[in-house]
Amino acid sequence: MASPSSSIQEARRALGQRLREIRKDSGLTGRELAKRAGWHESKTSRLEHGRTPPSDGDIRAWTLICGATDRAPDLIATARGIDGQYVEWRRMEQAGLKRAQESVRPLFDRTRRFRTYQSWVIPGLLQTSAYTRAVLSTVSELRDVPDDIDEAVAVRMDRQRILHSGNHRFAMLIEEWVLRTVIGDAETTAGQLGHLIAVASLPSVSLGIIPLGLPRGVGWPVESFTMYDEAQVNVELVSAHLTVTQPREIEEYARAFTELAAIAVYGAPARSLITAAINALG
């Protein structure tokens, strides 16, 4: 699977290719276009190769010079979409953790099939309030965001009502080392793991645990992600949140999920791994 950063760069190169085709169709050289636009010819090259993301003004000038002003709205929308794919956590959470939690509500409401792979923490929909509080407290400290943890926890807990709706299905994959990671303290983690066993019994939930020590020819560990139907994938990076909407890339995540699901264990074997993690806490 291509890295998230390479996916963004690929989208920028594709946009640059469209700009280059418009220029060539107009019969202009890169030097002539730069001269008419009033910028250095190296900028034309950077835009066409995706090294510099074009501003709205750049696109308007480009299409005006090339006699293709009718193409400007679509190109501007594409460029803005690329910018929106990659959002720094700090920018997303600057208005508070509650706002960040609330922002995904429309997406959750319209999605019917959720597929989540977690290599960091227990998936949010399966978290206890104490575990969520511990996770968000760490986020608040690391990113220096407004302290509205109580409100953010309440929003996430309210969102979990979706688990009991008959119109939604949830396939959750968790690496075993996530079970062994102490979040908050041992009591918080033990409570979370006990809750995980309970919630896995819900008719709407399929929980798979990927055991430690497996040969990983396929199903290689990747960044945590959630698929919302076939419409989009949200990817969790250390510094940012990535939204993937291109069908080809969504297919790559679907393939990765299928490979990871194939090496996971379910039912009694999964419960055994969770119980072993609880016992290891002492």
Report residue 50 as tokens: 């995706």
Q: List all residues 6 or more positions away from 55 whose beta carbon is below 8 Å from its beta carbon.
A: none
Confidence band of 126 (pLDDT split at 50, 70, 90): very high
Residue 88, pLDDT above cutoff 90:
no
pLDDT at 99: 63
Q: Which of 61, 67, 60 is nearest to 27 (CA)?
A: 67
Q: Which of 185, 187, 71, 172 is nearest to 122 (CA)?
A: 172
CA distance 86 to 162: 27
Please check whether residues 57 and 73 belong to one and the same domain.
Answer: yes
Question: What are the strands of the beta sheet with 169-175, ordered from one edge?
Answer: 86-88, 240-244, 232-236, 225-228, 113-118, 169-175, 205-210
Domain boundary among 38, 55, 85: 85
Distances in Å between the Cα of 173 and the Cα atoms of 74, 157, 200, 258 are 38, 20, 11, 10
3-state SS class at 117: strand
Domain boundary among 85, 110, 126: 85
CA distance 117 to 45: 39
Domain boundary among 46, 64, 85: 85
Please check whether residues 145 and 40 belong to one and the same domain.
Answer: no
CA distance 126 to 24: 53
Please check whether residues 109 and 158 belong to one and the same domain.
Answer: yes
Please check whether residues 128 and 266 belong to one and the same domain.
Answer: yes
Please check whether residues 189 and 99 belong to one and the same domain.
Answer: yes
Please check whether residues 80 and 98 belong to one and the same domain.
Answer: no
pLDDT at 89: 41
CATH code for the domain of 28: 1.10.260.40
Q: Domain count for the chain, please give it.
A: 2
Please check whether residues 65 and 112 belong to one and the same domain.
Answer: no
In tens, the pLDDT along 152-181 reads: 889 889 999 999 987 899 999 999 999 999
Instruction: Determine contact, residues 256/226, Cβ cutoff 8 Å.
Output: no
Residue 214, pLDDT above cutoff 60:
yes
Cα dihedral 227/228/231/236 (nearest 10): -50
Please check whether residues 75 and 150 belong to one and the same domain.
Answer: no
Please check whether residues 17 and 46 belong to one and the same domain.
Answer: yes
The β-bridge partners of 241 are 87, 236
Please check whether residues 156 and 211 belong to one and the same domain.
Answer: yes
Residue 5, pLDDT above cutoff 60:
no
**Segments forming the whole domain that contains residue 228:** 93-280
Q: What mean pLDDT, rounded, does the chain reach?
A: 86
Residue 9: count other Cβ atoms within 10 Å of its Cβ: 15
Instruction: Determine contact, residues 127/186, Cβ cutoff 8 Å.
Output: no
Please count the CA atoms within 13 angstroms of the CA of 251 that sit on its side-chain side.
3
Please check whether residues 249 and 114 belong to one and the same domain.
Answer: yes
3-state SS class at 32: helix
Confidence band of 93 (pLDDT split at 50, 70, 90): very low
Calculate ∠ Cα 64-70-74, nearest 5°: 105
Beta strands per DSSP E along the chain: 86-88, 113-118, 169-175, 205-210, 225-228, 232-236, 240-244
Distances in Å between the Cα of 151 and the Cα atoms of 103, 133, 145, 189 are 14, 10, 14, 21
Please check whether residues 8 and 135 belong to one and the same domain.
Answer: no
CATH code for the domain of 235: 3.30.870.10
Q: Which of 130, 277, 124 is nearest to 197 (CA)?
A: 277
pLDDT at 79: 82
